Amino acid sequence: MPIRDLHLRQLVADPYQTPMQLYPYINIIVIAAVVVVVLLNIVPMMVWFERKGSAFIQDRLGPNRAVIAVGPLRLRLMGALHNLADAIKLAFKEDIVPASANRFYFFLAPFLGTVVAFTTFAVIPFASPDLFRGVAGLEDLNFQVLKLDAGVLWILAIASFSTFSIMLAGWAGNSKFGLFGSLRAGAQMVSYELTLGLSIVGIVMIAGSLEPQALVKYQDTAIWPFPFIIPRWGIILQPLSFVLFLTCIFAETNRTPFDLAEGESELVAGYHVEYSSLRFALFFLAEYVNMTVGAMLLVVLFLGGWSIPFFSTESLLKHPDAVGLFMGVAGAIPAAVLAFAFFRLFHKRRSQPYWGDLRDHEAAVLGGIVSLKGFGLLVLGLVCWFSDSDRWPVWLGPTIVALFQIGFFMIKVLFFLWLFVWVRWSVPRFRYDQVMTLGWKVMLPLALANVALTGLWLFCYDALFK
């Protein structure tokens, strides 16, 4: 029931029904708050991930100078403290506005980009909506902020507004370098947006839906029966669409090799050359949030979203104790490997005092923390396995399965986030004419051909087997 229909008389006369009537809105608010908190934590993690990843790829040391001294311990946390230093610097840096800038659009551009970046998460599904079916009071629990029949189109439509943010920033600053960057962004958007939309048509034609949750459910089945189980993922059904969409996501997020709008070797900093302090930080935040959105959309469309190969949602709900044990063991094994590596570094620090980024007693401290974490996960897994799942509260089993699906979803997302870093520090920036040629003469014809071939295949399949 809409909130506008909840009159004061009804609330007073029937107060016990009000929480259930407001439940859909409470669900939306809670899921939205969780998503925003997760995003705000992913951004500093990705900044650290990018710095350390680039150092690993280029065979050099990453950030390792920021330090917190706690008694005899000098903790650097493998360079993670540099994020805190960056935040303090951006917060207290002088906020300069060019005298000839259009102040309204100059202030609007970074906020528009950030709002657009966070809004696109509204339709991403993080777990199955059927987990809490039959649980009193939680039947309608949905792991989406908004459930829209055209959810994929919502993401593409909202994400296109990020280009307006870039164009406004480049024009409002009244700088020729910023203006060139915004013009490049506009031309680049026209060249890849057509392919971006066409690349998802194939998987939409096969699944018969534009709703992200329905697309994931379609992929939560197998193409081939046991023992040769092949998941019905989009990357298997539409490999060309996956390659085209992945390339377009790099262009959408202005990441190398498609970072023409901010090419520092040509345009100093591009469209945000006149920005500083927290307004520059908003552009920085929007870029990494857009990366996460792109990674999640890739997972939803082509890697099955929250679905897990060989295990349907129904089978997981039947054995929540086994799911809990698997989560505990799966978390404890990498924790044990990391702890062993940290302790080995601690014992080698005298002979190799500058090995990697770990110095002093930091390796031993980190090893102890990771060891405790792994031990705790293992204990929780064993408790789930040896306890009687029939005596559990009715909501506990679905909650464990939900955490399992969300964790599996995030592992896929982290793979693509690492791919963003890997490509940035491995592939040089394209020239402007190369991007136009790739967009108009290569990717667009391939996207059109893929749609035509998919339609022909579906027609023949229906004619022969239906």
- Give the tens place of pLDDT for each residue, 28-52: 677 777 777 777 778 888 888 888 8
- Does the residue 4 lie in any domain? no
Q: How confident is the model at residue 403 (pLDDT cuts 50, 70, 90)?
A: confident
- Does the residue 19 lie in any domain? yes
- Does the residue 79 lie in any domain? no
> Which pair of tokens denotes residue 199?
């690349």
- Span 102-128, average pLDDT: 85
User: Does residue 353 surpass a pLDDT of 70?
Assistant: no
- Does the residue 347 lie in any domain? no
pLDDT of 5 = 46
- Does residue 125 contact residue 216 with C-beta atoms inside 8 Å? yes
- Does the residue 68 lie in any domain? no
Flag the least confident range among 362-371, 390-399, 401-410: 362-371
User: Does residue 286 surpass a pLDDT of 60?
Assistant: yes
Residue type, 370: V
What is the number of domains present in the chain?
A: 1
Flag the least confident range among 63-67, 70-74, 127-131, 458-462: 70-74
| Partners of 70 in beta bridges | 73
pLDDT of 153 = 85
- Span 232-243, average pLDDT: 90
For 169, other C-beta atoms within 10 Å of its C-beta total: 30
What's the domain range around 260? 13-62+93-310+393-465
More confident residue, 373 or 404: 404
Q: How confident is the model at residue 226 (pLDDT cuts 50, 70, 90)?
A: low
User: Does residue 413 surpass a pLDDT of 70?
Assistant: yes
24 CB-near residues (< 8 Å, 6+ apart): 140
% of residues, the chain, pLDDT over 70? 84
pLDDT of 22 = 57
- Span 429-449, average pLDDT: 87
More confident residue, 11 or 429: 429
Closest among 19, 41, 223, 32 to 146, alpha carbons compared: 32
State phi, psi for 80 to the nearest 5 degrees: -65, -25
| Partners of 75 in beta bridges | 68
CA dihedral of 247, 252, 258, 260, whole degrees rounded to 10 = 160
- Does residue 199 contact residue 275 with C-beta atoms inside 8 Å? no
pLDDT of 12 = 46
State phi, psi for 70 to the nearest 5 degrees: -120, 95
- Does the residue 296 lie in any domain? yes
User: Does residue 136 surpass a pLDDT of 70?
Assistant: no
Q: How far apart are CA 224 and CA 367, in angstroms?
A: 44
Q: How far apart are CA 262 and CA 256, in angstroms?
A: 10
- Span 84-93, average pLDDT: 83
Total-model pTM: 0.85
- Does the residue 288 lie in any domain? yes
pLDDT of 446 = 93
Closest among 200, 304, 288, 292 to 244, alpha carbons compared: 200
Encode pLDDT of 168-213 as tens digits: 888 887 887 777 878 788 788 778 888 888 999 989 998 888 888 8
pLDDT of 273 = 81
- Does the residue 301 lie in any domain? yes
Q: How confident is the model at residue 18 (pLDDT cuts 50, 70, 90)?
A: very low
pLDDT of 351 = 53
pLDDT of 315 = 82
User: Does residue 294 surpass a pLDDT of 70?
Assistant: yes
- Span 140-155, average pLDDT: 81
Flag the least confident range among 4-8, 106-110, 337-341: 4-8
